[in-house]
Amino acid sequence: MTKQGNTFSFNRNFLHFARRERSVGIPTQYTRVNNGREMNKRGGRPITFYLTIFLMLTSAFLYYSNSSLKLELEFKTDEINDLNDAKLQKMAAIDAIQIELERTEEERNNLIDDLEAANESIETKNKQVEQLKIDLGQLESDNNVLESEQERLKDDKLVAENQLVDLNQLRQRVNELENLVEEDKDELQKKNEDISKLQKDLEDAEKLAAESADKSSAPAPKIISLEAKPVQPESFEPAPVEQESVENDEAVEEEEMQSTENEVSTQSASSTRKTVTEDKLEDDSDFSLLDENGELRDDFDEQKDDFP
């Protein structure tokens, strides 16, 4: 039993390992003997008992704490392992995401390059469109110029057709004039033949006059020269011959003079007509619109204004 005033005491048989034999030591001032046991002055248990209890409790607490710490450590280790696995999975996912990001970045760069190329192509197409617009405007202006040129060519064609009509008329005139010239040539040739005949007749008359002069001992008459202009023959007085021969000679000379004057006048008229015809031909040749091949001349546009 515990005494009054003890704060902590219990039955000695409560703990078998707390029992101890009776102390055989010499009691001191700090202890007293009670029923053969060493007690402190306050009447409590010895300090070793309490130390033993404290150590036991401490051991139990430490054991419990160690067990709980081991369990917690195992739990934490499992959690750490799970976290490591999750970390590895996340790192693998991060690597995959990084690879995907790099691939996406490459695709982005490729798309940027394609976009830049498309922009350059669009700019080139825009420039080509602008150039095509400029070319279209130029073509429209050229088309307008061509239309005006076509209208002018139509007008020139009409003028050329009119000039061709005039040219045909001129050709007809030229042909008529050529026919007239040919006729005049034929007439002139005939006249020349007549003149040659008259010349022969004059020579015969001269011979006859010479013979008559020889017979009459008189000077021979002069020969009348046939020229383009009418020439009056010099008069001469033959020596007195027989009346019939003189009258015949005078009649022949008068006929020859008249025929000569007629021939000369005809020849001068023909030469005058020929001169006028040649002048007309020369004037017409100045306005000739055809070349040697019968085609329009190169300076047709320059000559057409001067064409009558």
Query: In which region does residue 217 sit, left (phi positive, over 0), alpha (psi from -120 to 50) or beta (all else)?
Result: left
Judged by average pLDDT, the poorest of 127-131, 165-169, 217-221 is 217-221
In a domain, 225, yes or no: yes
In a domain, 100, yes or no: no
pLDDT of residue 197: 86
pTM over 0.75: no
Rounded Cα–Cα distance for residues 126 and 120 (Å) = 10
Q: Please list the residues that pair with 38 across neighbouring strands.
A: 33
In a domain, 53, yes or no: no
- Domain containing 281: what range? 183-304
Q: Say yes or no to pLDDT of 286 above 50.
A: no
Instruction: Name the pLDDT band for 230 (thresholds 50, 70, 90).
Output: very low
In a domain, 297, yes or no: yes
Q: Say yes or no to pLDDT of 269 above 60.
A: no
Helices 243-286 and 47-216, axial angle in degrees (round to 10): 170
Task: Provide the number of structural domains found in the chain.
Answer: 1
Q: Say yes or no to pLDDT of 1 above 60.
A: no
On average, the pLDDT of the chain sits at 73
- Structural tokens at position 45: 């248990």
In a domain, 195, yes or no: yes
In a domain, 158, yes or no: no
Judged by average pLDDT, the poorest of 3-17, 71-85, 98-112 is 3-17
In a domain, 266, yes or no: yes
Q: Say yes or no to pLDDT of 176 above 70.
A: yes
Q: Say yes or no to pLDDT of 16 above 70.
A: no
More confident residue, 217 or 281: 217
Q: Say yes or no to pLDDT of 247 above 80.
A: no
Q: Say yes or no to pLDDT of 112 above 90.
A: yes
In a domain, 137, yes or no: no
